[in-house]
Amino acid sequence: DRQFHVEAIVRSEARAAEVRARFPAHAEHLQFRTCADAASIDDVTAAFAGVDGALLVTPVHHERGHLTLNMIHAAKRAGVKYICIVGSWTAACEHPRFRLDFTDGEDLARKEFPHHAASLRNGFFMSNFLGAAKTVKGANSIFTPLKDTRFASIDPDDIGHTGAAVLRSAPYGDADGKWDEELKIVNVSGPETTSYDEVASILSE
């Protein structure tokens, strides 16, 4: 098996310390690089120096689409060989908001890293249900416009495992190596579908 050296890029040393404190059992093995300004292509390029494969996490930010484009440009400038974007299934939707947040990033990845880019189209996070716990407890209700829509929610940890597996599958060291697809699309889904009525029932137990 190939051995991989993994480092996480964070905004500051303080943030790195927070992550180490959250995972004390693994603290001595966690490696970090700092990037002061994610909006600066120069800063992100410097953080990517010497990196072969990069997992680009779309940030929870009102300019996340723009920041994702910056990360892709920076990865290209830094000579990263393979990238994997942590995105959303909404990239497949024809809507201006989703295009700005997710689809534009996929299009740029396809252009700058043909056959060397992947995108994880993730579903709804299971952990997001915790935000509805208060209304479930107080009003026995979840307020949503989705009616009887069913969906397969996912654990965020599974997204990390999937991204790692995708990047590990890249043919590093092979001059002619590449993925078959111009942009490798990976749909990340949960094991079963549920409705909000069922979620409310489970949270009420």
For residue 98 the two structure tokens come to: 């989703």
Question: Residue 65 has what pLDDT?
Answer: 94
Tell me how far apart the alpha carbons of residues 82 and 114 are, in angstroms, rounded to a whole number. 10
Report whether 188 contacts 161 (CB < 8 A). Answer: no
In the predicted model, residues of the chain with pLDDT beneath 70 are: 1, 204
Question: Residue 67 has what pLDDT?
Answer: 95
Tens-place pLDDT, residues 76-96: 999 999 999 999 999 988 889
Question: Residue 1 has what pLDDT?
Answer: 59
Question: Residue 27 has what pLDDT?
Answer: 86
- Cα-based distances in Å from 44 to 11, 40, 79, 84, 101: 10, 6, 12, 16, 19
Which pTM was predicted?
Answer: 0.88
